[in-house]
């Protein structure tokens, strides 16, 4: 059974289906072998690199809010994409599913957390990798950093990927456009998270 093809639907999948698919891939083998490479900002041969970084706030409170936003998956709560199923805590092995809708088609994509970057007090993030129920193959990292000297809070996305479906291979320019749209919208969502914190001071 090709679970990739099951990820494209003209109707929104029901919650029971979303949970069942997520549970199916909690222990499944990931679709690539270069696990953890995004933690070193490395892109394997044969994959497309995608990187975006931006200042999203200033000061420790903004950094704390940015960390909380990552832990709440706010960077995935976009107008055309939302986390789906249970919001598992960010630990190695957790499943992170997203449901997106583009061109009147729903896409359910299941990822699994492969590492958490929380060893330094001024940086927090994690990387997740694709399971077989995903339109692409690869790994993505989300990181927020606090520069103690300047007070600047930055947000960075780094990923490597290649299309998993023949349809996406034929529509590679559109696929790259979708990635750029995600980076822009995700960064905007993180900025809003920090602005909300600023407004509450």
pLDDT digits (tens, 9 = 90+) for 66-94: 999 999 999 999 999 999 988 789 999 99
* Residue predicted with more confidence, 185 or 200: 185
Query: Within a domain: residue 161?
Result: yes
Query: Within a domain: residue 136?
Result: yes
- The CATH number of whichever domain residue 97 belongs to comes to 3.30.530.20
What size, in residues, is the chain?
A: 201
- Lowest mean pLDDT of 79-93, 157-171, 175-189, name the range: 157-171
Burial 13-39 (b: 16+ CB within 10 A, else e): beeeebeebbeebeeeebbbebeebbb
- Write down the mean pLDDT value for the chain: 89
Query: Within a domain: residue 33?
Result: yes
Query: Within a domain: residue 1?
Result: no
Asked whether residue 123 carries a pLDDT value surpassing 90, the answer given is: yes
What tokens does 73 get? Answer: 């998956």
Query: Within a domain: residue 158?
Result: yes
Q: Which residues pair with 124 in a beta bridge?
A: 144
Residue 45 belongs to domain spanning: 7-199
The pLDDT, as a whole number, for residue 166 is 62
- Lowest mean pLDDT of 37-46, 129-138, 164-173, name the range: 164-173
Query: Within a domain: residue 2?
Result: no
Query: Within a domain: residue 130?
Result: yes
Query: Within a domain: residue 28?
Result: yes
Number of domains in the chain: 1
Angle between helices 60-71 and 172-199 (to 10 degrees): 130
């Amino acid at each position: 059974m090709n679970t990739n093809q099951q990820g494209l639907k003209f109707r929104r999948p029901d919650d029971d289906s979303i949970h069942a698919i997520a549970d199916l891939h909690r222990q499944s083998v990931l679709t690539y072998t270069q696990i953890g490479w995004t933690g070193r900002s490395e892109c394997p041969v044969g994959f497309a690199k995608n990187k975006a970084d931006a200042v999203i706030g200033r000061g420790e409170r903004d950094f704390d809010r940015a960390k909380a936003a990552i832990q709440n998956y706010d960077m995935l709560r976009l107008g055309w994409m939302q986390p789906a199923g249970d919001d598992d805590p960010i630990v190695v092995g957790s499943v992170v599913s997203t449901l997106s809708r583009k061109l009147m088609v729903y896409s359910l994509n299941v990822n699994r957390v492969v590492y958490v970057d929380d060893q330094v007090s001024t940086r927090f993030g994690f990387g997740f990798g694709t399971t077989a129920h995903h339109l692409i193959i690869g790994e993505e990292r989300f990181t927020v950093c606090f520069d103690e000297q300047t007070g600047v809070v930055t947000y960075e996305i780094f990923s490597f990927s290649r299309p998993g479906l023949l349809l996406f291979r034929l529509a590679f320019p559109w696929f790259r456009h979708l990635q750029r749209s995600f980076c822009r919208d995700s960064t905007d969502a993180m900025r809003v998270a920090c602005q909300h914190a600023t407004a509450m001071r």
